[in-house]
Amino acid sequence: MRFMFLALAGLLSLTFSAPAHADDGVITLRVHHFLGPKSATHARMIVPWARRIEQRMGGKVRFEIYPSMTLGGKPPQLINQARDGIVDIVWTLAGYTAGRFVRTEVFELPTVHEGDPVATNLAIAELYDSQLAREYKGLHKLLIHVHQGQAFHMRTPPINKLEDLKGLKLRTPNRTGGWMIEALGAAPVGMPVPAVPLALSRGVVDGALLPFEVTLPLRIHEMVKSHMEFPGGVRFGTAVFLFMMNKARYEGLPADLRAAIDAESGEDFAREMGKLWLAEEDRGRKAAIEYGNPVTVLSPEETARFREAMTPVLTRWLKETGTQGLSLIKQARAAIARHSGQ
C-alpha cells in the first residue's frame, strides 16, 4: 500500500506540478481539501474565492476544486501535497500535523482565542510575516484562519461541572486540544473531522471537541445528547486552518494572475471568513437546539474552575517555546484585542 501511494504521489506530481494550461491557453489550478461539497468551506469559502479570481481574469484561469480528498491521500497529507507540488492549493488544519506549526499553535491555546474569529483572523494576518512565516517554507499563504472555537458535543448527559468529564474519551482536532482534554481529566483521541461521525456512532469516543458549524453537514447533533460551552460564546480554544498554495507555482504565475490572487486573499478575505464562520456557527447551534439537545452554558463558578484547570496547557506549550513563546502569547493577545469588534 505504501508503494502504491508513493507511485500515485509521483504520478500526480508529474501531472500537477508543471504549469497547467488547457488547449485554449487557460491556466488551471487545482484545489484539494478534506470536507464535502456541502460544507461551508467548500461552498461558501473556496468556490466563491475561486470564481471571483476567474472573473477578475476574464476566463484566463480555471480553478478545479476537489473536495473529500478526491485526489487521494489522507487529510494530514494535504499540507505536503501543496508543499511538494502534487496539487496547487490545499485547505487543511495546522493541527493535523502535530508539532509542525508550533508558533502558529499560539492562536489555538485556550484563553488566547476567546471566540471572535474575525479578530483572531486579522491578528494572524498581522503577525504572519514577523512571527509565523518561518514555519511555511515552500508555501504561499492565501489565508490562515480560525472558527469560533471548540464546544463539547457529548453522547453523555449534559456536562455541568468539571467532574462530569472525568475518564471520558473525547475527540480532539489538534495536540493543544489534547493537552486541554488531559488537563480537564478526560482522555484525548485524535482524529480528522470526517472520522468523527463513525467514532461517535460506534462509541469509540464519548464526545468531541468541534465547532457547531461543522456539526451540521456531518449531522453530529443527531448522534449526541448534549452540548456545552462557556458563557458569551467563548470556547475551549480553537483550530487553525491553512489555505495554502505551492510557493513555486504561485511565483511562476503571470503577474496579473498573482495580483488577482493577492487582491482576493488579503485582510478583507480574513474578515469575511471570520464573519462567515460566526454565521455558520449560529446555524449549527440552532440546529442542535431544534433537534432537542440541551446546550449547557457553564456557570461563572464552573467557568473559573475550567479556566484554572486549563492553565497547564499554556505551561506545556511554553516548555517547547520558552521566552519566545511567552512573547508570542502576549503579542497574539494584544493583536486580537486590537482587532476585536472589527
Q: Are residues 309 and 215 in the same domain?
A: yes
For 80, the domain range is 2-147+239-279
Q: Are residues 121 and 193 in the same domain?
A: no
Amino acid in position 314: L
Arithmetic mean of pLDDT, 34-58: 96
Q: Are residues 221 and 294 in the same domain?
A: yes
pLDDT bracket for residue 340 (50, 70, 90): very high
Whether pLDDT at 12 is above 80: no
Q: Are residues 301 and 178 in the same domain?
A: yes
Whether pLDDT at 22 is above 60: no
Residue 314: phi and psi, rounded to 5, are -65, -40
Q: Are residues 28 and 121 in the same domain?
A: yes
Q: Quote the pLDDT of residue 278.
A: 95
Q: Quote the pLDDT of residue 29.
A: 98
Q: Provide the CA 313 distance to its chain's centre, in angstroms.
A: 19
Contact 269, 143 (CB under 8 A): yes
Q: Is the pTM of this model over 0.85?
A: yes
pLDDT per residue as tens digits for the range 53-111? 999 999 999 999 999 999 999 999 999 999 999 999 999 999 999 999 999 999 999 99
Q: Are residues 183 and 130 in the same domain?
A: no
Q: Are residues 79 and 100 in the same domain?
A: yes
Arithmetic mean of pLDDT, 309-331: 96
Residues above pLDDT 90, as percent of the chain: 89
Arithmetic mean of pLDDT, 113-128: 96
What is the C-alpha separation between 127 and 296, in angstroms, rounded?
35
Q: Which residues contact 55 (CB under 8 A, 6 or more apart)?
A: none
Q: Quote the pLDDT of residue 114.
A: 86
Q: Kindly report the average pLDDT of the chain as a whole number.
A: 93
Domain count along the chain: 2
pLDDT per residue as tens digits for the range 255-272? 999 999 999 999 999 999
What is the C-alpha separation between 170 and 190, in angstroms, rounded?
8
Q: Are residues 22 and 109 in the same domain?
A: yes
| List of E strands, 218-335 | 226-229, 240-246, 295-297
Cα angle value 271/273/276 (rounded, 5°): 115
Arithmetic mean of pLDDT, 189-209: 96
Closest CA to 224 of 274, 291, 275: 291
Show the cell assigned to 104.
502558529
Sheet holding 61-66, edge to edge: 61-66, 27-33, 89-93, 240-246, 139-146
Q: Are residues 183 and 53 in the same domain?
A: no
Contact 136, 79 (CB under 8 A): no
Q: Are residues 157 and 175 in the same domain?
A: yes
Q: Quote the pLDDT of residue 1.
A: 43
pLDDT bracket for residue 20 (50, 70, 90): low
Q: Provide the CA 329 distance to its chain's centre, in angstroms.
A: 19
Arithmetic mean of pLDDT, 317-331: 96
